[in-house]
């Protein structure tokens, strides 16, 4: 994780991967377990630095800002849990709204508030999400492109990340995005094993580092 000396290797480009702590009564969060497993790996000459974000509206973005300043990554992948999904889902768009169906881990439950006051309505991921999806499918791992990251803390972080990358000159050229992973088998169904999730994220990150222009292939939704 961030505190490890290896995470601060001078001169080596870095990938920041974040996951969340458990929320909603779940004992674990598969996004954080997967992020932990990736920490310290070398992917296409980039060192992965993993960090946990709090599932709290008030502190998630300040924590992310500190991580960006400390890690200075060339690529950022935020991961989150999406119970009920059956595939690793690459998020296309982040929207400027908080609308929490349940309280966060701090008891906060914002309804119809902006993530960033005065910010644009939405941001698109700057990762090659269709190429990443295709890379996972080629490995036999369930994957899709999602048109909505929800309106809970995952979307809050996704939108905040993309706003920082778009508006802060320090992060010019840094690419970023969000991916949701399914429950683990012990959490409910549908699910995916931790090994599958970790392998899928490795494949996705390798593709993201290698790929600048995304593929043009069908990954839309009717509803």
68 in Cβ contact with 35 (< 8 Å): no
> Which pLDDT score is estimated for 123?
98
Place of tokens 């992948």: 77
Is 153 a domain residue? yes
Is the predicted pLDDT of residue 180 greater than 70, yes or no? Answer: yes
How many domains, in total, are found in the chain?
1
Percent of the chain with pLDDT over 90: 94
Q: Helix count (H) and strand count (E) of the chain? A: 5, 11
pTM, two decimals, is: 0.94
Among residues 104, 114, 82, the alpha carbon closest in space to that of 181 is found at 82
Average pLDDT, rounded, for the chain: 95
CA distance 189 to 50: 27
What does 32-61 look like in DSSP terms, one character per residue?
A: HHHHHHHTT-EETTEEEEEEEEPS-HHHHH
The parent domain of residue 66 ranges over 5-210
Place of tokens 């929320």: 23
Spatial CB neighbours of 14, under 8 Å, sequence gap ≥ 6: 7, 46, 47, 48, 49, 71, 72, 73, 74
Over the Cα atoms of the chain, what is R_g?
16
> Which pLDDT score is estimated for 11?
82
Is 219 a domain residue? no
| 48 bridge partner residues | 15
What is the domain-level CATH number for residue 88? 3.40.630.20
Phi and psi dihedrals of 77, rounded to 5?
Answer: -125, 110
Element holding 93 (H helix, E strand)? strand 93-95
Is 222 a domain residue? no
> Which pLDDT score is estimated for 178?
98
Q: What is the mean pLDDT of residues 97-116?
A: 98
- How many of the other CB atoms lie within 10 Å of CB of 198? 19
Is 215 a domain residue? no
Q: What is the mean pLDDT of residues 104-132?
A: 98
Among residues 78, 79, 77, 6, the alpha carbon closest in space to that of 40 is found at 6
Q: CA end-to-end span of the chain, whole Å?
A: 39
Is 223 a domain residue? no
Is 217 a domain residue? no
Query: Which residues are marked as active site?
Result: 91, 154, 180
CA 4 to chain CA mean position, Å? 21
Is 216 a domain residue? no
Is 221 a domain residue? no
């Amino acid at each position: 994780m961030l505190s490890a000396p290896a995470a601060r290797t001078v001169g080596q480009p870095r990938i920041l991967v974040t996951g969340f702590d458990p929320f909603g009564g779940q004992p674990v969060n598969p996004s954080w377990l997967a992020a932990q497993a990736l920490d310290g790996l070398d992917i296409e000459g980039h060192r992965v630095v993993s960090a946990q974000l709090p599932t709290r509206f008030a502190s998630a973005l300040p924590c992310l800002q500190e991580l960006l300043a400390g890690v200075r990554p060339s690529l950022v992948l935020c991961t989150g849990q999406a119970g009920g999904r059956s595939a690793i889902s690459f998020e296309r768009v982040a929207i400027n709204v908080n609308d929490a169906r349940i309280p966060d881990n701090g008891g906060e439950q914002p309804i119809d508030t902006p993530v960033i006051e005065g910010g644009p309505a939405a941001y698109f991921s700057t990762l090659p999400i269709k190429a990443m999806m295709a890379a996972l499918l080629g490995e036999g791992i369930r994957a899709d492109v999602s048109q909505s990251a929800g309106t809970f803390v995952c979307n809050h972080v996704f939108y905040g990340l993309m706003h920082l990358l778009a508006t802060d000159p320090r992060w010019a050229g840094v690419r970023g995005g969000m991916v949701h992973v399914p429950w683990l088998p012990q959490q409910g169904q549908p699910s995916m094993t931790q090994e599958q999730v970790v392998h899928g994220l490795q494949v996705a990150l390798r593709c993201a580092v290698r790929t600048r222009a995304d593929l043009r292939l069908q990954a839309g939704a009717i509803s």
